[in-house]
Amino acid sequence: MHTVCIGGGPAGLYLGVLLKLAQPRQRVTVHERNRPDDTFGFGVVFSDATLGNLADADPVTHAAITSRFARWDDIETHVRGHVFTSTGHGFCGLERKALLLILQDRARELGVELCFEQPVTSLDQVAGADLVVACDGVGSWVRDALAAQFEPDVDVRPNKFVWLGTTVPYGAFTFIFKETAHGLFRVHAYRYCETGSTFIVECTPATWAAAGFDGADEDRTIAILEDIFAAELGGHRLIKNRSIWRNFPTVRNKRWRAGNVVLMGDAAHTAHFSIGSGTKLAMEDAIALRDALVAERDVATALAAYEMRRRPEVEALQAAAQASLEWFEGTERYVGLPPAQFGYSLMTRSLRVSHASMLRRDPVLARAVERVLAERARLELDADEAPPPPMFTPVELAGLTLVNRIALAPWPVGEAEGGVVGDGHLVFLGARATGGAGLVLTEPVAASGAGEVPAIGTDEQAVAWRRVVEFVHARSPAKIGAVVRVGDAGVEPPALAEAARRAAFAGFDLLLLDAGGTGDDVVDGALAAVRPAWPSERPLGVRVRRGDSTTTVAQAAAWRALGARVIAVAPGSTRASGARLDAAPLADRLRNELGVAVILEDAAPTPADVDAVIAAGRCDVVALGRALVTDPGFVGRAAEAAGWRRGEQTDD
């Protein structure tokens, strides 16, 4: 078998190594357009988990790589005059050129044919190969040539960034957030050898233009940045290496294979540099492709197996990278947070780090954030009394006081004869309230109608709902919110106003208008009609779904102007594989850009994930779907697992 790799970066070289180890008689050729010692960029990052995968795949390469590592456990953050350190992270840095030379040497030793300065520019040049691996980077010409088969999607992000080096020997992965007259700059810096560190500078387009980078060459870029970061560099210099300002492209492909051609590494997928996983993804792609080629007899079956196994892993990491990317795109909205909460938000930005993980890695930071929340809730704690876990901290939701941050998300309970709810709704909602939820939300109900869908358009329907509300209020400290659909056929604003009056009569503490898939003008009209009919002392809001046309921050600002004080954000109709709390980035923007109270909905997050999004300030309340539906005692069990009983809690 003859395998041709187009691209001599870590992906192609490592695949060549692994294939020759597995099948020494196989012919493997790697074509690279540059010279052997050409490289762009400075250092690459590996996590401890990635190193374990490399050790299993080829101990010799692993030993050569790790012998050159710069290691660190800490992340150091500089913001608004504060410097704080978070520990327990376990990362290593390596010069990119050193990595390439190690892989080149190992590939030659095993008999891989390395063809430098011999670019492949047409698939006709490799027509005789059994397998063609396109690992030719983010701008892959192979992907473009077969775009009809791969169906690529390249999302070019707005922030500007430039990849530089410096002689500052950073002892930790270092984030610098520098406020200037031009705007906020973000720096991602880490050491890759004894005398060199990567120094990535990122900013918004407005800051980039204001600082004078439009049209600046490498030397001018360095001159401006050395002036901006003079104090942080402390006399050290910045180093260029094709250091031009760029916009990060997030690459996805509907398919990774077309005939005997397969995509690998950045040609197939990218993940934002803020999570340091580009080289990791490329080399782990190579491991997965090697495994598939060894296990399957024919190329087509092997490529299908490779993609089926590898795609969910990549998409999960891309979901985390997207959340991290969006955090850095909007860092301006976080710099005003208390320093501990800013650091916590930064550490948990990918949504893959839970509160339990933070308590293990950095208990000082985690406990500091818990105290911030407790102080904000005006809890009176004894000097030796630990604050509650984030989900059990009371919150004022647009004037509505909740005993904790857990809600029941809207969930279909069952039919309602003539639109009138009965014992089924009373028992279902009452059980979640008495089970400990601070807020229960109804399923989306109709503003009018007398069919089998729960409604609140007649006096009889309102009286039935009042019975449910009074049960919740009498048997628990929970609050209850009505979710009313807007945009139903034939339902005009006057009918919505009447539904709001009946919801007020029923005693609901909160009214949410369910936007569904309706247009912005429908929601605007509904809010305008409902606001005068709903008591001003009770919060009014809108429920949206991530990905709807109605979920832009600008439109949410318009809703706020029309009286919406709460926005509930539900997951979209599609969910990235492995994504956790996938509506959290939108909830985060709404809360921290607009200052509205936000309820984040999710089906079944873990208690530790709930704690993390609350502690980071991404939402005020988390509304659970399946988790509370299948387990009415979820809240009590979460409290018990956390060791939380007021006056009896532990730090375990």
pLDDT tens digit sequence for 8-61: 999 999 999 999 999 999 999 999 999 998 877 798 988 777 888 899 999 999
Please identify which residue in the block is written with the tokens 């840095």.
Answer: 93
- Measured distance CA(110)–CA(105) in Å, rounded: 9
Q: Residue 648 — pLDDT band, cuts 50, 70, 90? A: very low
Q: Check residue 384 and give its pLDDT.
A: 79
The whole-number average pLDDT for the span 398-418 is 96
- Summarised one tens digit per residue, pLDDT across range 107-148 is 999 999 999 999 999 999 999 999 999 999 999 999 999 999
- Measured distance CA(267)–CA(258) in Å, rounded: 14
The whole-number average pLDDT for the span 491-501 is 95
Q: Check residue 646 and give its pLDDT.
A: 52
Is CATH 3.20.20.70 the classification given to domain 398-641? yes
- Measured distance CA(608)–CA(528) in Å, rounded: 39
* Tokens representing residue 519 in the block: 């247009």
Q: Check residue 650 and give its pLDDT.
A: 38
- Measured distance CA(415)–CA(427) in Å, rounded: 14
- Measured distance CA(108)–CA(295) in Å, rounded: 25
Q: Check residue 39 and give its pLDDT.
A: 77
Which DSSP letter does residue 445 get? B
* Overall residue count recorded for the chain in this entry: 652
Please identify which residue in the block is written with the tokens 């779907």.
Answer: 625
Is CATH 1.10.580.10 the classification given to domain 2-327? no
Coil, helix or strand at residue 291: helix
Q: Check residue 577 and give its pLDDT.
A: 46
Average pLDDT, the chain: 93
Please name the helix (run of DSSP H) or strand (run of DSSP E) that holds residue 335, with its range, or none.
Answer: none
- Summarised one tens digit per residue, pLDDT across range 272-317 is 999 988 999 999 999 999 999 999 989 999 999 999 999 999 999 9
- Measured distance CA(122)–CA(117) in Å, rounded: 15
Please state whether 436 falls in left (phi above 0), alpha (psi between -120 and 50) or beta.
Answer: left
Q: What angle do CA 192, 197, 201 make, to 5 degrees?
A: 130
In the chain, where are the structural domains located?
A: 2-327, 398-641
Q: Check residue 551 and give its pLDDT.
A: 61
- Measured distance CA(284)–CA(291) in Å, rounded: 11
Does residue 550 register a pLDDT over 80? no
The whole-number average pLDDT for the span 615-637 is 95
* Tokens representing residue 139 in the block: 């701008």
Q: Check residue 647 and give its pLDDT.
A: 43
Q: What angle do CA 272, 273, 278 make, to 5 degrees?
A: 85
* Tokens representing residue 17 in the block: 């190594």
List, as one string, the DSSP characters of 123-154: GGGGTT-SEEEE---TT-HHHHHTHHHH-EEE
- Measured distance CA(333)–CA(84) in Å, rounded: 19
Does residue 487 register a pLDDT over 80? yes
Mean pLDDT check: name the lowest of 69-83, 495-509, 544-558. Answer: 544-558
Does residue 80 register a pLDDT over 50? yes
The whole-number average pLDDT for the span 552-575 is 88
Please give the single-letter amino acid code of residue 495. Answer: A
Residues 16, 136: contact at Cβ < 8 Å? no
Query: How many percent of the chain have pLDDT more than 70?
Result: 97
Q: What is the pTM of this model?
A: 0.92
Residues 570, 544: contact at Cβ < 8 Å? yes
Task: Report how far Cα 148 is from the mean position of its chain's Cα atoms.
Answer: 29
The whole-number average pLDDT for the span 210-222 is 97
Does residue 576 register a pLDDT over 60? no
Compute the half-sphere exposure of residue 268: CA atoms within 13 Å on the CB side of its CA. Answer: 31
Please give the single-letter amino acid code of residue 46. Answer: F
Q: Check residue 574 and give its pLDDT.
A: 59
